[in-house]
Amino acid sequence: MRQATHQLLVETAGQRLYEITREVRSRVAGAGIAEGLLTLFIHHTSASLLIQENADPRVQDDLNAFFRRLVSEDRNLYSHHEEGPDDMPAHIRAALTATQLSIPVAAGRADLGRWQGIFLYEHRAHPHQRRITLHLLGE
């Protein structure tokens, strides 16, 4: 049994999902672990991780529109204003989705379902560089 850790840096430019499946698959393939567990962790509180359908891009748009309706940017609702009107909603959206995902590795690959893609979900309006750790464990 052994482990490997990689850092993934993702440049974002606005509130939407960014697919990272290919980058993740490439790191897993390079680690030489046939069977095990892959954990992704995002080191931020205004961006998150999500596994979602990656066939029809409108699924991502509809999902993002839902979160915009659910978490208002009305400043009267919040007391934390210092970092802009999209910051507190971003923290709430992050709390409603995932900071971390663990995915089984089988036959040397992240064992995702046929329609599953891995996404970074950026909740801030302005560009950010986001850091994700990939931790692999197995043999």
Candidates 11, 115, 126, 127: give the one binding a copy of itself (CB under 8 A): 115
60-79 mask for a copy of itself (x: CB under 8 A)? -xxx-xx--xxx-----xxx
CB of 26 to a copy of itself, least distance (A): 19
Based on the shown chain and the rule CB under 8 A, indicate whether residue 45 belongs to the binding site for a copy of itself: yes
Choose between 18 and 78: whose C-beta lies nearer to a copy of itself: 78
Q: Which DSSP letter does residue 57 get?
A: H
CB of 57 to a copy of itself, least distance (A): 9
Q: Rounded CA gap, 78 and 82, in Å?
A: 11
Query: Measured between alpha carbons, how far is residue 111 from residues 25, 55, 63, 133 in Å?
Result: 10, 17, 24, 18
CB of 14 to a copy of itself, least distance (A): 18
Based on the shown chain and the rule CB under 8 A, indicate whether residue 11 belongs to the binding site for a copy of itself: no
Q: Whose structure tokens read 């991780």?
A: 49
Burial track 8-42 (b if 16+ CB lie within 10 A, e otherwise)? bebebeebebbebeebbeebbeebebeebebebeb
Q: Rounded CA gap, 54 and 75, in Å?
A: 33
- Residues within the interface to a copy of itself (CB under 8 A): 1-3, 5, 35-37, 39, 41-46, 50-53, 56, 58-59, 61-63, 65-66, 69-71, 77-80, 82, 88, 91-92, 94-104, 106, 111-116, 131, 133, 135, 137-139
